[in-house]
């Protein structure tokens, strides 16, 4: 999947994936990470998700990575914050109190750029990537977060019935990517109301990943 696909989606405002509220699964299960207030949470491929506003309003700091500058400009506008923007290689860092968003290719974000994080929340990243990119992605985010614990949300459905993204991620695939690095615990599995894009039955799974 080429970066232009996502640039075009944001430029045309074709963002049906954007929710008008914080993800209820985040609200319900974030406490399983057992983090102190002030902890720094990494949100990969974050767009302008209201999950960021929820994290900030609940006393956490946020780091994010996103390809689209349009998404991040809208995010800061909606947060009512004016970011300071600095450039490092191909990455633009948008900074305001308690929030840093790295705009560009996530594979260009390094451990040094990102800085220490206490956990990662992945609702929209793994499921957004085609199968041939997911192994590279999971290895990369594990490395740049120094194996920080994760709250991971995945869809599972018959991939033949609907095109991704979001793509279907099976339990077996989650284990293939992460079981050698983390202890995995399935916290919940919930049916998607109305199915995926109204086309087929789908389930959302919530995983907790902790370093071995």
3-state SS record for 77-119: HHHCCCCEEEEECCEEEEEECCEEEEECCHHHCCHHHHCCCCE
Instruction: Indicate the pLDDT class of residue 19, thresholds 50, 70 and 90.
Output: low
Helix, strand or coil, per DSSP, at residue 140: helix
Token digits for 83? Answer: 């970011």
Q: How many Å apart are CA 66 and CA 22, to the nearest integer?
A: 18
Q: Quick one: average pLDDT of 120-144? A: 96
- Predicted confidence at residue 45, as pLDDT, reads 95
Residues, the chain? 212
- Look at residue 8 and tell me whether its pLDDT is greater than 90: no
Tens digits of residue pLDDT in 170-209: 999 999 999 999 999 999 999 999 999 888 999 999 999 9
User: pTM of this prediction?
Assistant: 0.92
Nearest to 118 by CA among 39, 171, 197: 39
Instruction: Indicate the pLDDT class of residue 164, thresholds 50, 70 and 90.
Output: confident
Token pair 């920080």 in the structure block, residue: 148
* 126 dihedral zone (left: phi>0; alpha: psi -120 to 50; beta): alpha
- Look at residue 6 and tell me whether its pLDDT is greater than 60: no
- Predicted confidence at residue 16, as pLDDT, reads 57
Mean pLDDT of all residues belonging to the chain = 93
Q: List domains and CATH numbers for the chain.
A: 3-13+22-211 (3.40.50.150)
Instruction: Indicate the pLDDT class of residue 9, thresholds 50, 70 and 90.
Output: low
Q: Are 159 and 11 in contact (CB under 8 A)?
A: no
Q: Quick one: average pLDDT of 58-78? A: 96
Least confident of 12-26, 98-112, 129-143: 12-26
């Amino acid at each position: 999947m080429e970066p232009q696909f996502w640039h075009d989606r944001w430029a045309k405002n074709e963002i049906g994936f954007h929710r008008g509220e914080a993800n209820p699964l985040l609200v319900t299960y974030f406490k399983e990470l057992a983090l102190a207030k002030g902890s720094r949470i990494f949100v990969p491929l974050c767009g302008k998700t209201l999950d960021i506003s929820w994290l900030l309003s609940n006393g956490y700091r946020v780091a994010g990575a996103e390809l689209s500058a349009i998404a991040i400009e809208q995010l800061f506008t909606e947060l009512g914050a004016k970011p300071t923007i600095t450039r490092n290689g191909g990455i633009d860092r948008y900074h305001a109190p308690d929030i840093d968003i790295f705009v560009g290719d996530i594979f260009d974000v390094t451990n040094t750029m990102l800085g220490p994080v206490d956990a990662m929340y992945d609702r929209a990243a793994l499921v957004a990537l085609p199968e041939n990119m997911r192994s590279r992605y999971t290895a990369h985010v594990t490395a740049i977060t120094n194996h920080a614990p994760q709250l991971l949300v995945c869809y599972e459905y018959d991939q033949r019935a609907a095109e991704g993204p979001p793509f279907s991620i099976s339990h077996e695939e989650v284990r293939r990517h992460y079981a050698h690095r983390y202890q995995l615990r399935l916290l919940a599995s919930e049916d998607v109301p109305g199915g995926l894009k109204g086309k087929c039955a789908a389930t959302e799974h919530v995983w907790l990943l902790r370093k071995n």
